[in-house]
Amino acid sequence: MQVKDRTFLITGAASGLGAATAERLVNAGANVVLCDMSDRVLNLAEQLGAQAKACVADITSAADMQQAVNTAVALGGESGLSGVVHCAGVVSVAKLVDREGNPADLDSYARTVHINLVGTFNVMRLAAAAMANNPPGDSGERGVIINTASIAAFDGQVGQCAYSASKAGVVGMSLPAARELSRHAIRVMAIAPGVFETPMMSEIPDEAAQALAAAVPFPKRLGKPEEFALLAEQIITNPMLNGEVIRLDGGIRMQ
Ligand SMILES: NC(=O)c1ccc[n+]([C@@H]2O[C@H](COP(=O)([O-])OP(=O)(O)OC[C@H]3O[C@@H](n4cnc5c(N)ncnc54)[C@H](O)[C@@H]3O)[C@@H](O)[C@H]2O)c1
């Protein structure tokens, strides 16, 4: 699918991977709706200019996300909403049993799964319903959905039960969603980033960040949000990418 003159909905666009993706797609000539629960998207959209619109929305809310999808469909005009890059998510760390022997908090587990997994399903279902109405493009394609998993879906570390489960759920939905939506000519992909330099990771101490960077075979550093955006653009433009999860991690395998 071409990027230029098409319209994309980017969730989590106030920060990190989503913000970088919005900027890259605008620079490539796309229209974007920057969606986030943080009102920072209002400023970011203004900075990106006439091709960008903002929508403050919670990805777990049916009404909020329907409004975000409607905004993107309207912005897209005749071609409608062409794709979604869904980056909104949260990280959480909690041991099943802490040092004092207390069990993990159940509400906190459910919150992570609700935002990262149920939120992803909410974004996918509403975007897919809108894109199914698109006129087919030159190659017959109607839309593309790119979700954000994590290498924690495969190499979860101690304390990541909730986060790993939520991202493994995102991985698990990719193939059945791609199979189902193939009849509408909509592709579904997921990116599983390693460790990227974003505000989400800024809370980890310097020493831990250095150790993580050293554990990457090559390049020995954290990923840059622009590198995530580059892959998102490639997925949009390459029609053979479908039903797959791509690790973007410099070869790191978490211990
Ligand atoms: N940074 C990394 O190293 C890394 C690694 C693997 C996966 N990921 C995943 O990539 C995605 C983006 O992460 P990031 O590093 O850019 O993080 P980030 O914290 O910089 O950005 C996440 C954005 O999501 C938004 N958000 C959170 N909950 C929301 C909700 N309910 N509704 C709407 N918006 C919401 C936040 O406001 C924030 O702007 C996340 O799904 C994260 O789990 C990140």
Residue nearest to atom 21 of ligand 1 (CA): 15
Question: What range does the domain containing 192 cover?
Answer: 7-196+225-248
Query: Alpha carbon 146 to chain centroid distance?
Result: 6
Q: Could you tell me which of 2, 19, 14 has the C-alpha nearest to residue 42? A: 14
Ligand 1: which of 10, 17, 86, 191 to mutate, most ligand atoms within 8 Å of CB?
A: 17
- Ligand 1 midpoint to CA 183 (Å): 30
Residue whose CA is at the smallest distance from ligand 1 atom 28 = 89
CB neighbourhood size of 68 (10 A) = 30
Alpha helices, H only, the chain: 16-27, 40-48, 62-76, 106-113, 119-131, 161-181, 206-214, 225-237
Residue 255 lies in a domain: no
Residue with CA closest to ligand 1 atom 19: 200
Residue 58 CA: nearest ligand 1 atom is 32
Radius of gyration of the chain (CA): 18
What pLDDT, on a 0 to 100 scale, did the predictor assign at position 206? 83
Count how many domains the chain has: 1
* Secondary element (H or E) of residue 148: strand 143-148
CA of residue 86 to ligand 1 center, whole Å:
9
- Read off the CATH number of the domain in which 141 is found: 3.40.50.720
pLDDT in tens, the chain (255 residues): 999 999 999 999 999 999 999 999 999 999 999 999 999 999 999 999 999 999 999 999 999 999 999 999 999 999 999 999 999 999 999 999 999 999 999 999 999 999 999 999 999 999 999 999 999 988 899 999 999 999 999 999 999 999 999 999 999 999 999 999 999 999 999 999 999 999 988 877 788 888 889 999 999 999 999 999 999 999 999 999 999 999 999 999 998
Reported pTM: 0.98
In a domain? residue 208: no
Instruction: Give 217-244 as a DSSP string.
Output: SSSSSPBPHHHHHHHHHHHHH-TT--S-
| 3-class SS of residue 205 | coil
Q: Examine residue 105 and state whether it is found in any structural domain, yes or no.
A: yes
- With respect to residue 69, please indicate whether it lies within any of the assigned structural domains: yes
CA 136 to centroid of ligand 1, rounded, Å: 31
Q: Which atom of ligand 1 is nearest to the CA of 200?
A: 19
pLDDT at 212: 87
Q: From 176, 8, 152, select the one nearest 90 (Cα to Cα).
A: 152
Is the residue at 36 inside a domain? yes
Q: Whose C-alpha lies nearest to ligand 1, atom 7?
A: 150
Residue 33 lies in a domain: yes
- Residue 163 bears catalytic tag: yes
Chain-centroid distance, C-alpha 164: 15
The answer to the question of residue 241 being in a domain is: yes
Residue nearest to atom 43 of ligand 1 (CA): 89
Sequence-ordered alpha helix ranges (H) in 16-61: 16-27, 40-48
pLDDT of residue 205: 78
Ligand 1 binding site (Cβ under 6 Å of any ligand atom)? 12, 14-18, 36-38, 58-60, 87-91, 115, 119, 148, 150, 193, 195-196, 198-201
Q: Which of 163, 223, 231, 241 is labelled catalytic?
A: 163
- In ligand 1, which atom is closest to the CA atom of 13? 39
